[in-house]
């Protein structure tokens, strides 16, 4: 069976969920071979094997920390040369898309970004994309070269499928471009202890209606009662009430959780672009005409300062 | 010393309009108004700020690959303050994918001459966010992308890239390709004077032969990807909407419990 390369997104060896989802999708089109780079690469092997990786190609070098994107492209290109895969799958993060694009160009292949599903087809893998703020669904394939496809988080359920996961050292020689963009400083983001926004099963968001940074405590309390991630509209972010990393929408994160709760958010097209594929959508808004109500499975027309605390209390009571 | 900046700008269908596909599964551009992709306004803005902060002469060229109407996008950028514009237009470009678009842009950038290329973080239609990285790869220069802060001094570009895990400080020598996010600073509105001045600024039109490109290398035929189908998402079935009369939170909890979220 043909091998399929899966680029591993991990933090010091802890594999992030979107990569495990990719392994599930990869098994539909071939045998997954994972590529893990940087510090802790080898410690990803156990989790990857548990989810279907037959082999895990690893490499560590200071270049991955000191320079932007290109060293990772060099490594992935080396992996493509070594494996001759039927396809290359990369998680759809901002960096993942850049890595995938440069790789595709180098190996003479087309690229599809932000796939939300993947299936085997007669002429290679067929990717489903959700476009124009999720108002259209397209099916596409790469018609030239080895398909390079980036896949959004939450596009498949993680399935265990134990495989060998044999660790093999990948030989990488860095290109002249590898050291072009220096990373001269790095400020790690503080962890909030809440789930990662793009990976969370439930997202609770606040918009301009929350009316102040301090009031986001209400949104956080609701989120915590559900074990959810916190999101925000651009209006709330631009006002400085919540960090930009939590913005949901076209220029923020796209989320596709089981449940999305929008509080004090009108539902502008650019916000919808980032959350419209959520399975169940709930909104609290005092304006019955707000466009967000066109999307909802359940909506409450009311003041969020009344509804949200009552909801949070009720959830706590029910959860005992 | 002078600094030549090329800003890539895309003409896109208005996101608030009724965007859909034509029969050949390319974007239907006839039925929806087009405009300068709002995210590229941030790229134009940063070019203008770099120019305003520079000791050297700075020349800002805006470049688009797109149909006839794409001139509107160039006019907008010129009225914001760019110096000149290049429009790459050719019937054979219809249906070009990302790899092909980056080929045309790279050829045009090389022909125009550049020290710095500035792009938006993503277009508002394709939203791939890959063209700047592809341009860096094709031009063989550093990519300094997704910057929320950018500055140029003594032949070096510096910036801040806010990622999921960390915020990074980046640095590269010119020439380089930069992309900027919508966190980089509000884009200015064209002034009346700017709009009037734009009318007199030069707009060059290039076709594929000007760039030594063959029709087979671009367009739907030359594309490295193929769209097989596009279907409109069925409208969501109308949900339940209740008015809060004191029990709204509890009613919502009841719904969530029914859906097994609690
Ligand atoms: C290129 C571009 C990219 C963009 N990208 C994004 C993006 O990624 N994400 C994004 O969100 N936006 C984005 N936007 C902005 C978007 O167009 C909207 O401006 C934004 O989403 C509005 O945020 P909002 O719904 O919080 O605010 P508003 O539109 O002001 O809505 C606030 C809502 O809160 C309600 N409200 C007020 N008080 C209360 C109360 N006490 N209780 C209950 N309800 C209340 C109001 O009825 C109203 O519906 C983008 C715009 C552009 C041009
Ligand atoms: C809904 C949709 C989905 C698509 N999916 C794919 C796909 O999966 N694979 C694929 O190969 N193609 C795809 N395309 C085609 C692709 O969008 C175009 O070829 C395109 O111009 C490049 O990608 P982008 O618009 O996403 O640009 P992005 O990479 O998002 O754009 C980033 C920046 O590049 C610059 N730029 C991009 N295009 C131009 C231009 N024409 N002129 C000047 N500057 C420009 C701008 O500065 C822009 O801000 C898709 C198009 C649409 C409408």
Q: What is the pLDDT of residues B60-117, one digit of tens each?
A: 999 999 999 999 999 999 999 999 999 999 999 999 999 999 999 999 999 999 999 9
Mean pLDDT computed over B13-18? 90
Predicted model pTM: 0.97
Read off the pLDDT band of B165 (50, 70, 90): confident
Convert the pLDDT of each residue in A271-320 to its tens digit: 999 999 999 999 999 999 999 999 999 999 999 999 999 999 999 999 98
Does pLDDT of B260 surpass 90?
yes
Residue where the block lists tokens 């929350």:
A210
Long-range contacts: B157-165, Cβ < 8 Å, 24+?
A: B157/B116, B161/A68, B162/A244, B162/A245, B163/A94, B163/A95, B164/A93, B164/A189, B164/A196, B164/A245, B165/A11, B165/A188, B165/A189
Mean pLDDT computed over B193-218? 97
A110 interface with B at CB cutoff 8 Å: yes
Q: Which residues of B touch A189 (CB under 8 A)?
A: 164-167
Does pLDDT of A50 surpass 80?
yes
Name the residue at shortest CA distance from atom 53 of ligand 1.
Answer: B38
The closest alpha carbon to A116, from A139, A146, A85, A135, belongs to A139
Does pLDDT of A1 surpass 80?
no
Which of A182-196 are b and which e, b meaning 16 or more Cβ less than 10 Å from the residue's Cβ? Answer: bbeeeeeeeeeebbe
What is the token pair recorded at A19? 């990569």
CA dist list (Å): A273 to A22, A163, A240, B192:
23, 37, 22, 33
Pocket lined around ligand 2, Cβ cut-off 6 Å? A 110-113, 131; B 8-10, 27, 37, 39-40, 43, 64-66, 96-99, 101, 105, 119-120, 122-123, 125-132, 225
What is the ipTM, given to two decimal places?
Answer: 0.96
CA dist list (Å): A265 to A9, A243, A299, A301, B84:
32, 16, 12, 12, 40
State the pLDDT at residue B17: 87
Q: Tell me the H-state helices in chain B.
A: 38-53, 71-80, 98-112, 131-139, 192-198, 219-222, 248-258
The closest alpha carbon to A46, from A56, A37, A38, belongs to A56
State the pLDDT at residue B1: 60
Does pLDDT of B164 surpass 90?
no
Read off the pLDDT band of A211 (50, 70, 90): very high
Convert the pLDDT of each residue in A123-154 to its tens digit: 999 999 999 989 999 999 999 999 999 999 99
Q: Which of B39, B124, B249 has the highest number of chain A CBs within 10 A, making it the mutation to test binding with A?
A: B249
Portion of chain B with pLDDT greater than 90, in percent: 89
State the pLDDT at residue A143: 97
State the pLDDT at residue B29: 82
Interface contact flag, B129 A94, Cβ < 8 Å: yes
Q: Give me ligand 1 centre to Cα A236, in Å.
A: 8
Does pLDDT of A73 surpass 80?
yes
**Cα–Cα dist B134/A99, whole Å:** 10
State the pLDDT at residue A108: 98
Decide if A124 contacts A87 (C-beta within 8 A). Answer: yes
State the pLDDT at residue B245: 97
State the pLDDT at residue B64: 98
Pocket lined around ligand 1, Cβ cut-off 6 Å? A 207-209, 233-236, 247-252, 264-266, 268, 270-271, 274, 284-287, 290, 303-305; B 38-39, 124
Convert the pLDDT of each residue in B211-244 to its tens digit: 999 999 999 989 999 999 999 998 888 899 999 9
Q: Which of B161, B166, B231 shows the shortest C-beta gap to A188?
A: B166
Q: Across chain B, what does the average pLDDT equal?
A: 96
CA dist list (Å): B72 to A37, B44, B87:
45, 15, 10
Convert the pLDDT of each residue in A214-255 to its tens digit: 999 999 999 999 999 999 999 999 999 999 999 999 999 999
């Amino acid at each position: 069976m043909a091998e399929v390369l899966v680029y591993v997104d991990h933090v010091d060896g802890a594999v992030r969920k979107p990569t495990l989802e990719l392994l599930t999708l990869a098994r539909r089109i071939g045998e997954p071979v994972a590529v893990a780079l940087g510090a802790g690469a080898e410690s990803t092997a156990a989790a990857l094997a548990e989810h279907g990786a037959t082999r895990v190609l690893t490499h560590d070098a200071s270049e991955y920390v000191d320079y932007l994107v290109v060293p990772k492209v060099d490594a992935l290109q080396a992996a493509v040369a070594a494996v001759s895969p039927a396809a290359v799958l990369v998680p759809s993060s901002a960096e993942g898309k850049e890595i995938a694009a440069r790789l595709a160009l180098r190996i003479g292949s087309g690229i599809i970004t932000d796939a939300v599903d993947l299936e085997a087809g007669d002429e290679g893998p067929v990717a489903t994309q959700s476009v124009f703020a999720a108002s259209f669904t397209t099916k596409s394939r790469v018609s030239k070269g080895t398909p390079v496809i980036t896949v959004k988080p939450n596009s498949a359920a993680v399935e265990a499928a134990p495989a060998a996961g044999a660790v093999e050292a990948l030989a990488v020689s860095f290109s002249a471009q590898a050291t072009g963009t220096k990373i001269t400083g790095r400020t790690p983001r503080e962890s909030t202890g809440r789930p990662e926004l793009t990976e969370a099963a439930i997202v609770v968001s606040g918009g301009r209606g929350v009316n102040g940074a301090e009031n986001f405590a209400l949104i956080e309390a609701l989120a915590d009662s559900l074990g959810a991630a916190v999101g925000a509209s651009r209006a709330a972010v631009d006002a400085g009430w919540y960090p930009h990393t939590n913005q949901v929408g076209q220029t923020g994160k796209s989320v596709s959780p089981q449940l999305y709760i929008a509080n004090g958010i009108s539902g502008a097209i650019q916000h919808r672009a980032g959350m419209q594929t959520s399975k169940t959508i709930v909104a609290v808004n005092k304006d019955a005409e707000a466009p967000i109500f066109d999307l909802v499975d359940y909506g409450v027309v009311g003041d969020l300062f009344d509804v949200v605390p009552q909801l949070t209390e009720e959830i706590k009571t029910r959860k005992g | 010393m002078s600094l030549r900046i090329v800003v890539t700008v895309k003409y896109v269908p208005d996101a608030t309009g009724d965007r859909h596909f034509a029969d050949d599964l390319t974007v239907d551009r006839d039925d929806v108004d087009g405009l300068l992709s709002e995210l590229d306004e941030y790229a134009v803005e940063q070019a203008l700020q770099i120019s305003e902060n520079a000791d050297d002469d700075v020349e800002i060229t805006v470049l688009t690959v797109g149909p006839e109407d794409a001139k509107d996008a160039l006019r907008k950028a010129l009225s914001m303050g760019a110096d000149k514009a290049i429009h790459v237009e050719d019937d054979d470009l219809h249906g070009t994918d990302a790899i092909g678009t980056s080929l045309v842009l790279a050829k045009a950038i090389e022909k125009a001459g550049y020290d710095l290329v500035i792009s938006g973080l993503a277009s508002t239609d394709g939203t791939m966010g890959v063209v700047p990285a592809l341009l860096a790869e094709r031009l063989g220069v550093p990519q300094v992308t997704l910057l929320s802060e950018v500055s140029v001094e003594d032949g070096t570009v510096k910036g801040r890239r806010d990622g999921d895990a960390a915020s990074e400080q980046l640095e590269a020598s010119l020439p380089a390709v930069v992309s900027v996010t919508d966190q980089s600073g509000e884009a200015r509105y064209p002034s009346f004077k700017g709009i009037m001045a734009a009318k007199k600024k030069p707009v060059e039109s290039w076709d594929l032969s000007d760039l030594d490109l063959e029709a087979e290398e671009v367009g739907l035929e030359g594309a490295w990807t193929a769209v097989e189908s596009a279907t409109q998402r069925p409208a969501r079935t109308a949900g339940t909407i209740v008015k809060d009369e004191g029990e709204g939170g509890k009613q919502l909890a009841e719904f969530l419990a029914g859906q097994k979220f609690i």
